[in-house]
């Protein structure tokens, strides 16, 4: 295997007596989608927060492209190309989808993210912003304020903003949430394409989407990874089926 883009080693994070992540190790390899699944409260969000830098682990190491980034801030990690999809709360609701993407493009060029530069008519930003919105399927909605977009569309806008920042890997936290069947289908196709550009660590509850997309799956239960493997291996794993998937026969 090529050397890992992202490598987690022994990550631990406790809240009082509760071990939210307990000795978590995994890698994200070039060109792959590595899905992280697990029941509610398993520690997925806490793990993503440690990777992005929003939460400091109690123990363990995070390496990004070979560099130890464990002590770096969110902004320092983002500058290195460790990309987290922006949360809906970070979109500027009164700005159009296009302008939100333009701000991200501007941030990529070295300006601070929320610096209110008059970006609206900057042609070096409007063209690329439009191209990115077209890519995620939001082209026709480019001039709609972010706050007016439907929930699924806002999730696409988050991904558009992540794309604008040209990260070396994507951290996507439940991108399918709130999307209808058609939206999920389109996003599955899009992510399959996107992984060629940069590998994706994907937290997702939609198992059909996970099984359609993931090259590898890790299963987190009570803060511990109980199994990592291909979709076939994970679906056939008796411990995973007991703990998470429900102990029925795997679908053919
Ligand atoms: N700031 C916090 N303080 C105390 N406990 C926390 C905190 N953040 C998370 N927890 C607890 O840590 C455990 C893991 O939570 P986390 O949100 O990471 O799980 P999750 O797998 O993302 O769940 P979900 O799928 O529901 O989003 C839960 O028991 C949660 O209540």
Residue pair 136/163 in contact (Cβ under 8 Å)? The answer is yes
CA of 40 to the centre of ligand 1 (A): 8
Of 31-35, 47-51, 180-184, the one with minimum mean pLDDT is 180-184
Q: What's the pLDDT at 88?
A: 46
Residue whose Cα lies nearest atom 8 of ligand 1: it is 46
Residue pair 160/153 in contact (Cβ under 8 Å)? The answer is no
Residue whose Cα lies nearest atom 16 of ligand 1: it is 43
Best of 19, 22, 43, 50 for a ligand 1 pocket test (most atoms within 8 Å of beta carbon): 43
Instruction: Output the six-digit token pair for 133.
Output: 């919105």
Nearest to 132 by CA among 152, 109, 156: 156
Indicate whether 247 pLDDT > 80: no
Domain 1-80+199-252 and domain 82-166, same fold? Reply is yes
The domain locations on the chain are 1-80+199-252, 82-166
Best of 11, 12, 15 for a ligand 1 pocket test (most atoms within 8 Å of beta carbon): 15
Locate the ligand 1 atom nearest the alpha carbon of residue 38 and give its number: 21
Locate the ligand 1 atom nearest the alpha carbon of residue 42 and give its number: 21
Span 69-101, pLDDT tens digits = 999 998 888 888 887 655 445 788 999 999 999
Residue whose Cα lies nearest atom 24 of ligand 1: it is 40
CA of 204 to the centre of ligand 1 (A): 15
Instruction: Output the six-digit token pair for 91.
Output: 């979109």
Residue whose Cα lies nearest atom 9 of ligand 1: it is 46
Indicate whether 49 pLDDT > 80: yes
Between 86 and 204, whose confidence is greater? 204
Residue whose Cα lies nearest atom 12 of ligand 1: it is 20
Residue whose Cα lies nearest atom 29 of ligand 1: it is 41
Instruction: Output the six-digit token pair for 51.
Output: 């990777």
pTM: 0.87
Rounded to whole angstroms, the Cα distance separating 163 from 161 reads 5
Span 134-179, pLDDT tens digits = 999 999 999 999 999 998 888 889 889 888 888 899 999 888 888 8
Locate the ligand 1 atom nearest the alpha carbon of residue 47 and give its number: 18
Instruction: Output the six-digit token pair for 166.
Output: 């040209």
Query: Which residues on neighbouring strands pair with residue 35, listed in sequence order?
Result: 202, 217
Indicate whether 216 pLDDT > 50: yes
Rounded to whole angstroms, the Cα distance separating 47 from 147 reads 28
* Topology of domain 82-166, CATH: Rossmann fold (3.40.50)
Residue pair 96/154 in contact (Cβ under 8 Å)? The answer is no
Distances (CA, A) of 96 to 99, 127, 143, 148: 5, 15, 5, 9
Q: What's the pLDDT at 38?
A: 93
Q: What is the 3-state secondary structure (H, E, C) of the chain?
A: CCCCCEEEEEEEEEECCEEEEEEEEEEECCCCEEEEECCCCCCHHHHHHHHHCCCCCCEEEEEECCEECCCCCHHHHHHHCEEECCCHHHCCCCCEHHHHHHHHHHHHCCCCCCCCCCCCCCHHHHHHHHHHHHHCCCHHHCCCEHHHCCHHHHHHHHHHHHHHCCCCEEEEECCCCCCCHHHHHHHHHHHHHHCCCCCEEEECCCHHHHHHHCCEEEEEECCEEEEEECHHHHHHCHHHHHHHHCCCCCCC
Residues flanking ligand 1, CB < 6 Å: 15, 18, 20, 38, 40-46
Q: What's the pLDDT at 16?
A: 95
CA of 60 to the centre of ligand 1 (A): 19
Span 221-241, pLDDT tens digits = 999 999 999 999 999 999 888
Residue pair 63/168 in contact (Cβ under 8 Å)? The answer is no
Task: Indicate the CATH number for domain 1-80+199-252.
Answer: 3.40.50.300
């Amino acid at each position: 295997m090529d050397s890992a883009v992202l490598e987690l080693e022994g990550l631990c994070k406790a809240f009082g007596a509760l071990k939210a992540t307990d000795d978590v190790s995994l890698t994200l390899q070039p060109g792959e989608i590595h899905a992280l699944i697990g029941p509610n409260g398993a520690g997925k969000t806490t793990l993503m927060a440690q990777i992005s830098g929003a939460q400091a682990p109690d123990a363990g190491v995070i390496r990004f492209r070979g560099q130890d980034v464990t002590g770096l801030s969110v902004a320092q990690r983002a500058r290195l190309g460790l990309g987290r999809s922006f949360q809906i709360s970070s979109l500027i609701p009164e700005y159009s989808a296009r302008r939100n993407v333009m701000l991200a493009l501007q941030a990529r060029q070295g300006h601070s993210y929320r610096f209110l530069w008059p970006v609206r008519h900057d042609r070096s930003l409007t063209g690329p912003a439009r191209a990115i919105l077209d890519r995620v399927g939001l082209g026709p909605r480019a001039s709609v304020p972010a706050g007016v977009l439907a929930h699924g569309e806002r999730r696409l806008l988050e991904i558009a903003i992540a794309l604008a920042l040209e990260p070396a890997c994507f951290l996507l936290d439940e991108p399918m949430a709130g999307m209808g069947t058609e939206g999920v289908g389109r996003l599955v196709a899009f992510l399959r394409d996107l992984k060629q550009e940069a590998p994706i660590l994907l937290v997702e509850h939609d198992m059909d989407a996970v099984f359609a997309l993931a090259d590898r799956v890790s299963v987190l239960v009570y803060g511990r990874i109980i199994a990592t493997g291909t979709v076939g291996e994970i679906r056939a794993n008796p411990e995973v089926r007991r703990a998470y998937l429900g102990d029925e026969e795997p679908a053919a």
